[in-house]
Amino acid sequence: MTNRREFLRGTGAAAFATLAPQLSVAAQRKVATRRIPGSDERLAVVGLGNSSVFRQPDSGASKQLLQTFFEHGGGYIDCRGDSAFHVAAVAKTLGRSNNAFLGGYFNGGDPAGSETTAQRLRAIKGTKSLDLMHTVPEDGVPNWDVFRRWKDDGLTRFIGLARHKATYYEAMMKVMSTGTMDFVQVNLSPLETEAEDRILPMAMEHGVAVTTNRPFINGRYFPIVKGRALPAWAVEFDCTSWAQFSIKYILSHPAVVCVLTETSKQKHLLDNLGGGIGRLPDEKTRKKMRDLVKSFS
Ligand SMILES: NC(=O)c1ccc[n+]([C@@H]2O[C@H](COP(=O)([O-])OP(=O)(O)OC[C@H]3O[C@@H](n4cnc5c(N)ncnc54)[C@H](OP(=O)(O)O)[C@@H]3O)[C@@H](O)[C@H]2O)c1
């Protein structure tokens, strides 16, 4: 009988599997999905942030990144500013408009300008409604009634708030308490855990989908874990890299629907997608993960 090693050698995949186990996992499978509370829609649990290749924009690199992302079941892309037009156009070129779930940013203080932007984005995407119109609670609670109207009018299917610091949580909680918010995006990682106490329990209570930013603290996580071996128990939840360690930590909270990860590199994207595949840690292991990473910093 051919064993696994012989099979890999026969298919020419041995070197690939040895060099990059995390790539081979992601290459074979699609990321898991979770239901958006209050709807029948599902989202892939690993999303893409506003990558520098979208911001520049670099069409060739964006195309490659999005192609890989969609091939592995990816959907949610967080887009700020003109990136949204670029990503929508590339997704259309790839024939993936229906796979792309765009989280765009809009200004409730400028309804007319925002509506023009939304109509333009809708035309590029070629869909009846936008996916998610959200805003940043920069100066306290935003003009939320405008967002509710956009949803009622069918301009968008979902509305929400998104920011990356605990100083914004109060405004987020105020809007959440109205029971009219679909999505909240907050910072969360083994090193930034405050949302677990303040935002996530309330989101679960109100049926709000949680998405997260800063899984790698905007890149600062990697120098902290550099040169350290993953703990042996990471295999218990199918984790093969420090990037996946953070992603799986975040996803093991039941309130989280999608982790937004920012990268400009195929290799990192495949690594990150691997974080949305396989088993997840339990509550006891979560605590161990948090304590371990915090002990490094
Ligand atoms: N609404 C808001 O106020 C707000 C605020 C902050 C962030 N966000 C959203 O959240 C997204 C993610 O958060 P973030 O910007 O803080 O970035 P992040 O995902 O925490 O970190 C990105 C950095 O990590 C590196 N990286 C990614 N995957 C890697 C891997 N597998 N191995 C090694 N390095 C890796 C990237 O470099 P490479 O490009 O070289 O891979 C980049 O330097 C943003 O893109 C944005 O869409 C929203």
At 186, phi and psi to the nearest 5? -135, 165
Q: Which residue has the tokens 């371990």?
A: 292
Tell the residue nearest (CA) to atom 6 of ligand 1. Answer: 164
What pLDDT is attached to residue 27?
54
Q: How do residues 172-188 score in pLDDT, each as one tens digit?
A: 999 999 999 999 999 99
Q: Is 94 exposed, middle or buried (0-12, 13-18, 19+ CB in 10 A)?
A: middle
Q: How do residues 113-172 score in pLDDT, each as one tens digit?
A: 999 999 999 999 999 999 999 999 876 677 999 999 999 999 999 999 999 999 999 999
Residue 260: CB within 6 Å of ligand 1? yes
Residue 21: CB within 6 Å of ligand 1? no
Q: Helices 59-71 and 266-274 meet at what angle, rounded to 10?
A: 20
User: Can you give the chain as a three-state secondary structure string?
Assistant: CCCHHHHHHHCCCHHHHHHCHHHHHHHHCCCCEEECCCCCCEEECEEECCCHHHHCCCHHHHHHHHHHHHHCCCCEEEECCCHHHHHHHHHHHCCCCCCCEEEEECCCCCHHHHHHHHHHHHHHHCCCCEEEEEECCCCCCCCHHHHHHHHHCCCEEEEEEECCCHHHHHHHHHHHCCCCCCEEEEECECCECHHHHHCHHHHHHHCCEEEEECCCHHHCHHHHHCCCCCCHHHHHHCCCCHHHHHHHHHHCCCCEEEEEECCCCHHHHHHHHHCCCCCCCCHHHHHHHHHHHHHHC
Q: How do residues 204-232 score in pLDDT, each as one tens digit?
A: 999 999 999 999 999 999 999 999 999 99
Average pLDDT for the chain: 91
Residue 164: CB within 6 Å of ligand 1? yes
pLDDT above 90 coverage of the chain, percent: 87
pLDDT above 70 coverage of the chain, percent: 90
pLDDT tier at 29, thresholds 50, 70, 90: confident
What pLDDT is attached to residue 28?
60
pLDDT tier at 71, thresholds 50, 70, 90: very high
Tell the residue nearest (CA) to atom 29 of ligand 1. Answer: 268
> Domains, the chain, ranges and CATH?
21-296 (3.20.20.100)
* Chain center to CA of 183: 12
Residue 136: CB within 6 Å of ligand 1? yes
Residues 6+ apart with CB under 8 A from 126: 92, 97
